[in-house]
Amino acid sequence: MPELDDLPGAIACDYTLVEAGEARVVPGGVIDESLLSIYVNGESLATMMCSPLQLEALAVGYLYNEGIIECAADIGHLQLNQTKSVADVILRHGDARLPRRMILTSGCGGGMTGQELSASQPALPSDFSASPELVLRLMRGLQSAAKLYQAVRGVHTAALGAASGILVSAEDVGRHNAVDKVAGAALLAEIASRDRILLCSGRISSEMLGKARRMAVPIVVSRTAPTSISLALAQAWRICVVGYARRSGMRVYTHPWRITPLGLSFSDV
Q: For position 103, what pLDDT does the model report?
A: 52
Q: Is 71 a catalytic residue?
A: no
161 within 8 A of 222, measured Cβ to Cβ: no
Residue 79: burial class (beta carbons within 10 Å; 0-12, 13-18, 19+): exposed
Residue of 88, 91, 89, 87 lying closest to 74 (CA atoms): 91
Q: pLDDT digits over 14-27, tens only? A: 777 777 877 688 88
Tens of pLDDT along the chain (269 residues) come to: 456 666 778 878 777 777 787 768 888 777 788 889 999 998 888 888 899 999 999 999 999 998 899 999 999 999 999 999 999 999 988 766 776 555 555 445 444 444 455 555 899 999 999 999 999 999 999 999 988 888 888 889 999 999 999 999 999 998 999 999 999 999 999 999 999 999 999 889 888 999 999 999 999 999 998 988 888 899 999 999 999 998 878 999 999 999 987 445 544 43
Q: What is the bridge-based pairing of β-strands 219-222 and 165-172?
A: unpaired
Q: How far apart are CA 193 and CA 240, in angstroms?
A: 15
Q: For position 87, what pLDDT does the model report?
A: 96
Q: For position 124, what pLDDT does the model report?
A: 95
Range 231-239 contact pairs with CB under 8 angstroms and sequence separation of 24 or more: 232/119, 233/117, 233/119, 233/206, 233/209, 234/209, 236/119, 236/121, 236/123, 237/119, 237/121, 237/122, 237/123, 237/124, 237/209, 237/213, 238/123, 238/124, 238/125, 238/126, 239/124, 239/209, 239/212, 239/213
Reduced to 3 states (helix: H, G, I; strand: E, B; else coil), residue 89 is strand
Reduced to 3 states (helix: H, G, I; strand: E, B; else coil), residue 75 is strand
Give Cβ neighbours of residue 92 (< 8 Å, ≥ 6 apart). 73, 74, 75, 76
Q: Which residue out of 50, 71, 108, 240 is catalytically annotated?
A: 108
Q: pLDDT digits over 96-144, tens only? A: 677 655 555 544 544 444 445 555 589 999 999 999 999 999 999 999 9
Q: For position 269, what pLDDT does the model report?
A: 37
Q: For position 27, what pLDDT does the model report?
A: 82
